[in-house]
Amino acid sequence: MSGNVPVLLFGAAIFVVAFLIWWLIFETEGVYLGRRVMVALYDLYAARYDRIKQFDETADITLISQPLLDRIAPLDNPLILDVATGTARVPLIMARNARFRGRVIGLDASRRMLEKAREKVVAGRFESFITLLREDASELPFKDDSFDVVTCLEALEFMPRPQEALAEMIRVLRPGGLLLTSIRIDTRWMPGRAWSEFRLRAELEALGMRDIDVMIWQEDYSQVWALKTGRSRPIRADGLGHAMQSARQVPIS
Ligand SMILES: C[S@@+](CC[C@H](N)C(=O)[O-])C[C@H]1O[C@@H](n2cnc3c(N)ncnc32)[C@H](O)[C@@H]1O
């Protein structure tokens, strides 16, 4: 028996190391390894991202684009910012919705994710509805109060500085504008990163959001809808030129 102890210890060590690698790289998508590693991993996964996620577009239209348009009705030509757009999930379901006449800016830090997004935008001939930008969520290149709607799905917990990113999203949202984000249901696997519903509500309230509405959505995530305190006139799709503060990086399309 005692002769087996080193073998058992070695096996246990291999298991722990393999588990750590899986957790750091796959389960938490590199977020504990710093921004550069996280973006590099998204660059690496970009070609397979849609296949891995298998988004159900009909469900996304029913549960994202329809309720979004209902909540901002009668405004049908809003200016929307989708932060951490990935392969353009939100911009595409908005553009494919026959009721939508606005414009969506899809912003992401990963060049390869944006290249995949661009392929889909061009294939669907949605260039007049969608603009893609490579920028960081913690420093948005837009003026205050510039968008009618800001969305950010399945991403806050992967950001190195989620508080800053959330504050930026709310800064660029106009008073009375609509925020749609998501919250991870099971926070155990991302200690210190994935916020509880209680924490997200507190952060939103501290940043001046009201009417916070948490809705059951997917297995892993709930949707969180909220309005920015105050009221102002809609920006509408043609407000993009005014919203752009600077062009520090070349737009992807
Ligand atoms: C899980 S994906 C979600 C993509 C998309 N919202 C969706 O629902 O399919 C997370 C995305 O967040 C992006 N991301 C993470 N941190 C970011 C940051 N600080 N600034 C911009 N994008 C970021 C990643 O590059 C990745 O594309």
The Cα-based distances of 37 to 42, 110, 225, 251 in angstroms read 9, 11, 30, 23
> 110 alpha carbon to ligand 1 midpoint, in Å?
8
Rounded average pLDDT per 10-residue block, the chain, 253 residues? 82 89 81 89 95 94 97 97 98 96 97 97 97 95 96 94 96 98 90 92 97 95 98 93 67 64
The reply to whether ligand 1 has any atom less than 6 angstroms from the CB of 195 is no
Work out the mean pLDDT of the chain and round it to a whole number.
92
Domain boundaries, the chain: 2-53, 57-243
Residue with the smallest CA separation from ligand 1 atom 13 is 84
Any residues with CB less than 8 A from the CB of 244 and at least 6 apart, and which? Answer: 141, 142, 143
| Distance in angstroms (rounded) separating the CA atoms of residues 73 and 91 | 18
Query: Any idea what DSSP says for residue 118?
Result: H
Residue corresponding to tokens 């603009």: 131
The Cα-based distances of 196 to 64, 101, 164, 187, 216 in angstroms read 22, 35, 17, 7, 14
Whether residue 225 contacts residue 180, with contact meaning beta carbons closer than 8 Å, is answered with yes
Tell me what pLDDT residue 245 has.
Answer: 66
Q: For residue range 236-253, what is the model confidence (pLDDT) as tens digits?
A: 998 888 888 665 555 666
The distance of Cα 71 from the centroid of its chain, to the nearest Å, equals 19
Residue with the smallest CA separation from ligand 1 atom 15 is 159
Note the pTM of the prediction, 2 decimals. 0.93
Q: Give every strand in the sheet of 130-134, ordered side by side.
A: 130-134, 103-108, 79-83, 147-152, 173-184, 221-228, 209-216
> 107 alpha carbon to ligand 1 midpoint, in Å?
9
The reply to whether ligand 1 has any atom less than 6 angstroms from the CB of 166 is no
The reply to whether ligand 1 has any atom less than 6 angstroms from the CB of 222 is no
Q: Looking at domain 57-243, which of 3.10.105.10, 3.40.50.150, 1.10.760.10, 3.40.50.2300 is its CATH number?
A: 3.40.50.150
